[in-house]
Structure 1
Amino acid sequence: MNAAEISAGDTAWVLASAALVLLMTLGLSFFYGGMVRAKSVLNMVMMSVVTMGIVGVLWVLFGFSMVFGESFGGLVGNPLDFAGLSALMGPDAVVGTVPALAFVGFQAAFAIIAVALVSGAVADRMKFSAWVVFAAAWAVLVYFPVAHWVFAFDGSVSETGGFIANTLGAVDFAGGTAIHINAGAAALVLAVILGPRIGLGSTPMRPHNLPLVMLGAGLLWFGWFGFNAGSALAADHVAAHAWVTTLAAPAAGMLAWLVVEKIRDGRPTSLGAASGIVAGLVGITPAAAAVSPVGALVIGALSGVGSALAIGLKNKLGYDDSLDVVGVHLVAGLIGTLSIGFLADPAAPGEAQGLLYGGGFELLGIEALSSLAVLVYSIVMTTVIALILRGIMGGLRVTAREESSGIDVAAHAESGYDYSQTPLTARGVTRSVVIPAPAPVQEVK
């Protein structure tokens, strides 16, 4: 840990950014909640909200230490170094120019939303209890180690850090690999293992509340300024640069997605606008301080087009990624990370030099290797976690009856809207309504 003098301005910015990033998880719950059917909206919101509790507790106990503790071979931090965070209390604990606990809070919000992102792929069909256990296991076994690889720089908190940040020297300003590629790969695995929703392809599964989706997208964009510009860990020119690129990329991503829809489908949609915003935000996350504002426009446009085209592949490939976590976060995360190898501008604060600026292929190779390492690790570990949980929890998905009647009532004894006529048992009130059971659906073996 550095023993630098604490800056009040930097501290205020990091604390504000941490709050903005935490708000993003609530925005995500609205974004996802509006895209599911009315009978599942509360469950979708709860999957994000409960993640705040799960990861928040784990982060205080040992999660921060696993990410930023003294490294074991560049793979994971020592979970005992900062366990309970008591070692980071007091004015002498400093990271850069901010109190160590300000940095702890900022990174905690990153960890929370990284895990919550995965839930969109399993909407309408995963047991809430299975999600709770999966979220805890995935945070500990996948996110914490990968975040150590990417975010733990030698000498920033501990003497030694992760191999992607230090040995490979990859450029990932705010988590294109650790958060978006990581979560997108996990979403793909869970979607395949759970199998498709009942009635997919024959029953309408349109978003039930598009204004809620737009509200969620707006909150995500608002919070993302803290996500990216806050990653400068200072109120300086780096933060200002990241703020502007975080404005440019989602603006271009939204327009690009709408153009694709107009050409392909004949009409631009509000859902497309919201999705394009998120795709652009994902794409610029790793490159926010490495490219020029014009480069950010290019990355945003590529992310919008790439993600808009990618979401159609799930039908051809036969997996049911309910809310397009793979098509948006994995695809745009890869586009943004690999684009650094081409568009990194040495005049930007990151001072990296991409292929189009005379830098050769070295940086592109480093970005590709770091992306591949995270992708493979996330796929393998998520598969292991999901299969073990499926065995010990009697399956990961709700029954066919519960899925058809709605997870809100089955899992939470609540309904998102008061006109629901399904059975409610909250607070001792029971209404009996007979719901015919559909044909059973087996998880993919």
Structure 2
Amino acid sequence: MKKLAKFGLASIALLPSLAMAAAPAVADKADNAFMMICTALVLFMTIPGIALFYGGLIRGKNVLSMLTQVAMTFAMVCVVWMVYGYSLAFSEGNAFFGSFGWAMLKGIAPTTLMGSFYQYIHVAFQASFACITVGLIVGAIAERIRFAAVLIFVLIWLTFAYLPIAHMVWAGGFLAQDGALDFAGGTVVHINAAVAGLVGAYLLGKRAGFGKEAFKPHNLPMVFTGTAILYFGWFGFNAGSAGTANEIAGLAFLNTVVATAGAMLTWTFGEWALRGKPSLLGVSSGAIAGLVAITPACGYVGVGGALIIGLVGGLAGLWGVTTLKKWLRVDDPCDVFGVHGVCGIVGCILTGVFASSSLGGVGYAEGVTMGHQVWVQLESVALTVVWTAVVAFIGFKVADMIVGLRVPEDQEREGLDVNSHGENAYNQ
């Protein structure tokens, strides 16, 4: 029976020392080109993908604030990643953190290999994942948070939540040792960001006028454009996580197509049944739901399993932004938790089911049953939720003590664009 650990970044990124020892003497040019293209695609997902998607979802008086937050957190993550982030996430260490052995990328030369491609490319590829994860969070705290507070929070959360969880899942840490499966970021990216955003939304409180005024997306064509960019970039996200241009990259690529299509259909038809009309926002949201749901599973499940995950993910996301959001009584402007949190959890759990070779997947590790794998997946979800929630709470509280978390109500009502940045997106 094939072992899951042999596929994806599990083989080249989880244990860098072993990967380096087994690396070929000469880099594979095709793999290098493939990974550089995938890295560029994932970077494209954040700027402009997330920026446009979230920018269109919020009100016009705050769109520049959103674009600025996404761009500046992107820059901050890139710098932190090179200084110490990559080292703490991917170097050898303990079960929860790496070491500072690769701080400022010392010890990594242009010719150093990570598997069949140069390690510098791996540094950039993983930086792109960290960037988009942080970018996802700002959608949940939009339209009322101080810009300085965002930057302070991101520095704390990236260091103490993203880096250890990435190490635990992708660098031979606690969850990897436990056998958790996360091909491209169900726990590390989507659940991680969604829970942090949910904590922030609760601590900030609801926007002024929430529940009394109509808060509608100000630019749906912008939302659709952002969705299209995210969809395009997601192939780098998922296929690139194979770490090489092989059959598993091809499987992840096809599964991404199939699951996304399935989720678009179930979300749209579900919305049509509930509200009487299908909407462009529903089509766009369904696409994101499918992409999120298949992310942890894309290199482990067969095409049939991917389709089911997508179909379920679409309905789960629709439930998350309608029913669950009301139950939680939270103001999450871009439905970060309803889509990324709910569909990330669904995808992680179903990975444990459809990875089974009897259901078309690549098969479990030797001696592992479906029941055991699903239990491990649940454990990984629970640990991620608790860890990131605690760190996010501390991060937001520290930001609140230093600069204050929320802008004054009069500035909020006038808009963050003019008050925080001195600009207007549109002519008044």
TM-score using structure 2 length: 0.92
Which of 91, 98, 102 lines up with 1:82 in the alignment? 102
Matched, 1:311 2:330: no
Aligned residue number for residue 19 of structure 1: 40
After TM superposition, give the deviation of residue 329 of structure 1 in Å.
0.4
RMSD of aligned C-alpha atoms? 1.5
Aligned residue number for residue 9 of structure 1: 30
After TM superposition, give the deviation of residue 169 of structure 1 in Å.
1.1
Which of 346, 352, 372 lines up with 1:335 in the alignment? 346
Aligned residue number for residue 140 of structure 2: 121
Matched, 1:57 2:79: yes
2:345 maps to amino acid? L
| Cα contact 2:96–2:173 (8 A) shared by 1 | yes
After TM superposition, give the deviation of residue 125 of structure 1 in Å.
0.5
Aligned residue number for residue 251 of structure 1: 261
Question: Given the superposition, is the C-alpha separation of residues 347 and 102 from structure 1 closer, same or farther in structure 2, using an over 3 Å criterion?
Answer: farther
Write the distance in 2 (CA, Å) between the matches of 1:171 and 1:348.
16
2:32 maps to amino acid? T
Identity within the alignment, %? 40
After TM superposition, give the deviation of residue 151 of structure 1 in Å.
1.0
After TM superposition, give the deviation of residue 352 of structure 1 in Å.
2.9
* Residue aligned with 1:88, SS: coil
Counterparts of 1:290-369 in structure 2, within 5 Å, are 290-312=300-322, 313-346=324-357, 351-353=362-364, 359-369=369-379
| Cα contact 1:289–1:348 (8 A) shared by 2 | no
2:303 maps to amino acid? P
Aligned residue number for residue 405 of structure 1: 414
Matched, 1:277 2:283: no
* Residue aligned with 1:192, SS: helix
Write the distance in 2 (CA, Å) between the matches of 1:237 and 1:265.
42
Q: Which runs of 5+ in 2 are unaligned?
A: 1-16
2:423 maps to amino acid? E
Which of 182, 186, 195 lines up with 2:196 in the alignment? 186
After TM superposition, give the deviation of residue 184 of structure 1 in Å.
0.8
| Cα contact 1:150–1:175 (8 A) shared by 2 | no
Write the distance in 2 (CA, Å) between the matches of 1:117 and 1:361.
32
Write the distance in 2 (CA, Å) between the matches of 1:290 and 1:348.
11
Write the distance in 2 (CA, Å) between the matches of 1:315 and 1:128.
28
Which of 299, 303, 309 lines up with 1:289 in the alignment? 299
Which of 56, 61, 78 lines up with 1:34 in the alignment? 56
| Cα contact 2:143–2:415 (8 A) shared by 1 | yes
TM-score using structure 1 length: 0.88
| Cα contact 1:289–1:349 (8 A) shared by 2 | no
2:239 maps to amino acid? A
Which of 143, 151, 173 lines up with 1:162 in the alignment? 173
1:13 maps to amino acid? F
Write the distance in 2 (CA, Å) between the matches of 1:199 and 1:412.
22
2:384 maps to amino acid? V
| Cα contact 2:354–2:360 (8 A) shared by 1 | no
- Which structure is higher in helix share? 2
Higher relative CO (CA 8 A, sep ≥ 6), structure 1 or 2?
2
| Cα contact 2:89–2:97 (8 A) shared by 1 | yes
After TM superposition, give the deviation of residue 47 of structure 1 in Å.
1.3
Write the distance in 2 (CA, Å) between the matches of 1:304 and 1:140.
32
| Cα contact 1:290–1:348 (8 A) shared by 2 | no
* Residue aligned with 1:126, SS: coil
Write the distance in 1 (CA, Å) between the matches of 2:147 and 2:202.
18
The structure having more radius of gyration, on CA atoms, is: 1
1:183 maps to amino acid? A
Give CA-to-partner distance per residue, 1:342-362, whole Å, 9 cap, x none. 2114289973349xxx94301
Matched, 1:416 2:425: yes
After TM superposition, give the deviation of residue 139 of structure 1 in Å.
0.7
| Cα contact 1:280–1:303 (8 A) shared by 2 | yes
**What is the number of residues matched between the two proteins?**
403
Which of 159, 163, 187 lines up with 1:177 in the alignment? 187
Give CA-to-partner distance per residue, 1:232-285, whole Å, 9 cap, x none. 111111111100001111111111110111111001100011111001000000
Write the distance in 2 (CA, Å) between the matches of 1:293 and 1:101.
32
